[in-house]
Structure 1
């Protein structure tokens, strides 16, 4: 499980240090892709495989399904760590997420998310006021909060 919030910088070559606690769960090779809310999602291989299986079961006859599957898979890239614990984020993904210098690396249960600091602050600020309302909506899922 991935937990925590870490602020880091991305260098001019697009390399980012991933905190050691998060690196352990990702393994040697992992997948990075466009996420929702204009951030990047990073998955260990087993979780990526689970997502892939679920996506395959979606009806490909629906235009919205095809659009989402394209969005999610076409931009995906397999990555690995260098000796310093950095990853090279492909330029198309850096552009999508607005990653320039300061970034937030978040542990979010089954994945890691990478955000520009500006977008993360804006998202956090906007969502903070509705967290209780969201919790009320998902209480039906009996998550034990």
Structure 2
């Protein structure tokens, strides 16, 4: 996974939450991380769970640190964002526990779709992932790739 000297997240994995609402993260994604590496799971406005690995968490930390305490809009946005977010490390079996709030936000009951996006990954309900697949099917995918310059 880390042939570029940094972790990257690719592929799609369908997993089921266990009875304690724990979700196994693919071993390929865990292999470049130590036991104490902290990730951040946060509700994305589009109805899924965005998971930021340590490097992305560090960037976000720096951004938050640069905002003045007197910047009410920034402080309100950060308070709302981090109140709904969950910092985590993997357990010994490579699982994470999802909070009820995150599961509700992502409409995740028992089944989840984990999708890599190179520098981070996301957790979708199967129905929301199906919507993404539908939006990006066929010619739409080519148009989208050209628009973002890939």
TM-score normalized with structure 2 length: 0.77
List runs of 5+ in structure 2 lacking aligned partners.
Answer: 1-7
Q: Give the Cα–Cα distance (whole angstroms) in 2 for the partners of residues 132 and 71 of structure 1.
A: 36
Q: CA deviation at 1:26?
A: 4.9
Q: Secondary structure at the match of 1:137?
A: helix
Q: 2:113 aligns with which of 104, 108, 112?
A: 104
1:73 has 2:87 as partner: no
Q: CA deviation at 1:132?
A: 2.5
Higher strand share: 1
Aligned equivalent of 2:53 = 44
List runs of 5+ in structure 1 lacking aligned partners.
Answer: 140-144
How many equivalent residue pairs? Answer: 139
TM-score normalized with structure 1 length: 0.79
Work out whether residues 22 and 112 of structure 1, in 8 Å CA contact, stay in contact via their aligned partners in 2: no
Aligned equivalent of 1:88 = 97
Task: Calculate the aligned-residue CA RMSD, in Å.
Answer: 2.5
1:15 has 2:22 as partner: yes
Work out whether residues 18 and 87 of structure 1, in 8 Å CA contact, stay in contact via their aligned partners in 2: yes
1:138 has 2:142 as partner: no
Q: CA deviation at 1:50?
A: 0.7
